[in-house]
Chain A
Amino acid sequence: MTATAADIAKGAAAPPSNVRAKIWLYVPLILASIFYLIPMYVMLATGFKAFDEVSLRTMWNLPSGLSLDNFKAAWEALSPNVWNSFKFVVPASIISAMLGSLNGFVLAKWKFKGANVIFPLILFGMFIPYQAVLIPLVEFIRSINLFGGVWGLMLTHIVYGLPITTLTFRNYYAALPDDLVEASKIDGAGLLGTYRWVLLPLSIPSFVVVLIWQFTAAWNDFLFAVVLTSNEGWPVTVALNNLAGSQIIEWNVQMAASFLAAVPTLIIYIFLGRYFLRGMLAGALKG
C-alpha cells in the first residue's frame, strides 16, 4: 500500500479527533482505578480507626479522626526488622535478575547442545510447592551454616527466583530478532561482548518487570522467612504477621502496618517505572 497525499494529510491533521478519542480512554481507566482503590480505601480508613470502631458493620465509615496511633504502633513493631528485609531483598533481586538475564540470553540466543533440555529443567523449579520442601530446605541451610540470619534466606530467594527470571528473560530475548545477535557475531563480538553491548541495553523493560517481581516476592515472602531465620534475622513480614496476634486480632494496627510495609515496594515500583519508556529500541534495527 503506497501512501497517498490524502493519507499523509490524515496523519498530519491529528489533534481534534485524536484528543476526543484520548479523553474517552480515561473512562475505562477511571473505572479500573475505582476497582483498585476500593480495598485501599478500606485499608487506609481502618488504619486510622480505633479498635472499637473496627467491625464488618462500620467498614465503610470514615474514621472518626486521623490519629496516627496505629501507624506509630506499627512503626515501632516493624522498624527493627526493616533493615533485615533490605539486606537480603536488594541483593537477592539483583543477583537473580542478572543470572536470569544471562541464562535467558544463552538459552534463547546462543543455543548450544542441550539448551532445549536445560530450559525446561530450570523452568520446572517454578512449580514446586514450597511447603513440600521446607524440611529438607531447613536442613540444607543449617548444614551450610546459613541458618538464623538473612543470608540463607537470600540464597533461597536467589535460587527459587531463577526459574521465573530465566523464563521472563528467555521469552523476552526470543522475541528479539536473531539478526541482532548474528550481526554482532559477524562484527566479531563473542558471547560476553554480544551480551554486554547488544542485548543488555535492550533489556531494560525486562529488567524492570523482573526486578519488580523479585523484589515483591522476596519482600513479601513469609514462609521461607519464618523457617529460615531466628529473632535477630526476622524480616518485616514476620514482624507484620506477629503484629496480628493469634487470638484477638487488632485489624486497625495490622492495616496501618501493612501499608507501611508496602511503602518500600511502592517506591521501587515508582523508581523502576520510569524505565517503561517508549522507544527504547529506536534505532536498534538501523544499519
Chain B
Amino acid sequence: MALTEAGDRLTIAPKRRRRVQKDKVLAVALVSPSIIAILVFVYGFIAWSARVSLSTWKGLLPDYTWAGLENYRNLFADPRFHVDIRNTVIFTVVFVGGCLIIGLGLSLLLDQGLKGEAFFRGLFLFPMAISFIVTGVVWRWLMNPAAGDRISGLNLIFDSLGLDFLENSWHATPYWGMAFIAIPAIWQMSGYTMALYLAGLRSIPEEVREAARVDGAGEIQIYRRVILPQLRPVTLTALIILGHISLKVFDLIIAVAGKQYALDVPAIYMWQTTFDGYFFGRGGAIGILLLLSVGLLVIPYLVYTQRQERNS
C-alpha cells in the first residue's frame, strides 16, 4: 500500500498538487467562520464567567475584586451543591438511559415498513415541539403524589385499573425523586432520539442488508450483527446530545416541580444565586464547575472516537 501511495505522489501532476493544496486551504477557510464565532461566543464569554467566578461580585454592579478560589471552596462545602450533584447524576442516568432504550426500540419498530409509520413518527416527535411551560404543568398534575381521598393524576388511573402497586409518590419520593423528573424529559426527547436512530438506520445501504440476507442470516441476526454495530456513531451522538441536555436542564424542572431544594440542580442553583440573589461570583463558579464536569465526560468520548476511527 505504502509503496503505491509513494508512487502515486511521485506521479501526481503539479496541477493536481496545487489543487490539493488549494483544497486544504479551502477546508480551513470553510471552518474558520465557525471557529471565530465559537471563540467569541463560547470561549470569550466563558473567560468572562471564569473571571467572575474568581471574584467577590455580589450585587447588581460588577465587582471584580479578586477572591481566588473562595467561591469554589464554599461550593464544595455547600450541602445544597451536594444535593445538586446527586440529583444530576440520578437524572442523567435515568433520562439518558431511558431515551436511548426507548428511542432505539421505537426506531427499530418503525424501520419495519409498517403502515402508518408516518403517523407514529409524527406522534412520537410531537412532544418535543410543545413548550416546556405546559409540559411541566401537565406532568406536575400527572405525577401528583397524593393518595387516599385526594388521589389524582396517574395514581388515579392506576387505581381505577387495579394497578395499585404502581401508585407511588413520584417526584416527592425522598432522595430518589429526581428519577421521576426524568419521565417528562424522556417523554419529550425520546422521539428525537428515535429520529436520530431512524436516520442512522436509513443510511445503512439496502445492499448491506441484502448481502447479509443472501448469506442466510435471519432478520434478527442481521440486526444484531450488521445493523446495531453500524449504529454506534449515532448512539454516541445521541449520548452527547442527551447528556448535554441533562446537565443543563433547568426550565423543565422548574415547570414540573418549582424551585425546591430536594429537586435542585446546578442550573437552577446558578440561576437563583445569580439573578434572584445577585451573587454573581458563586453563580459563575457553578457554571465553570458544570463545564469542567462535562469536559471530564467528553474527553474520554473524543479519545475513544478518534481511536476508533484510526483503527477502522
Contact = CB atoms under 8 A, between A and B. Distances in A.
B141 A56 contact: yes
Contacts of A280: 202-203
Interface stretch (B68-76, B121-129, B165-173): B121-129
A244 B298 contact: no
Contact of B121 (A28, A160, A163, A273): A273
A128 B121 contact: no
Interface stretch (B78-86, B89-97, B174-182, B191-199): B191-199
Contacts of B214: 3
A33 B124 CA distance: 7
B23 A190 contact: yes
A25 B112 contact: yes
Interface in B234-272: 234, 236-237, 240-241, 244, 247-248, 250-251, 266-267, 270-271
Given A59-B152, A174-B309, A25 B114 contact: yes
Nearest to B141: A59
Interface residues of B, number: 113
Contacts of B286: 132
A59 to B, nearest CB: 5
Q: Looking at chain B's contact residues, is the secondary structure mostly helix, strand, loop, or mixed? A: helix
A4 B215 CA distance: 9
A98 B251 CA distance: 29
A209 interface: yes
B24 interface: yes
B65 interface: no
Interface stretch (A63-71, A80-88, A259-267): A259-267
Interface string A160-193: 1011101110011011100000000000001110
B205 A132 contact: no
Contacts of B150: 57
Contacts, number: 301
B304 to A, nearest CB: 12
A110 interface: yes
Given A135-B48, A262-B131, 15 more contacts: A1-B217, A3-B214, A28-B105, A59-B152, A121-B35, A122-B34, A127-B290, A131-B283, A159-B38, A162-B38, A167-B240, A190-B22, A262-B129, A269-B126, A282-B207
In the A-B complex, the 10 residue pairs with the smallest Cβ-Cβ separation, listed nearest first, are A132-B287, A265-B129, A205-B199, A258-B134, A133-B45, A125-B42, A281-B205, A127-B294, A191-B23, A262-B129
Interface of A: 1-4, 7, 11, 22, 25-26, 28-29, 32-33, 35-40, 42-43, 46, 56-57, 59-60, 99, 102-103, 106-107, 110, 112, 116, 118-133, 135-137, 140, 156, 158-160, 162-164, 166-168, 171-172, 174-176, 190-192, 202, 205-206, 208-209, 212-213, 216, 219-220, 222-223, 237, 240-241, 244, 251, 254-255, 258-259, 261-262, 265-266, 269-270, 273-274, 276-282, 284-285
13 contacts: A32-B106, A36-B127, A38-B154, A102-B30, A124-B298, A127-B294, A132-B49, A159-B37, A192-B26, A212-B125, A223-B251, A258-B131, A273-B121
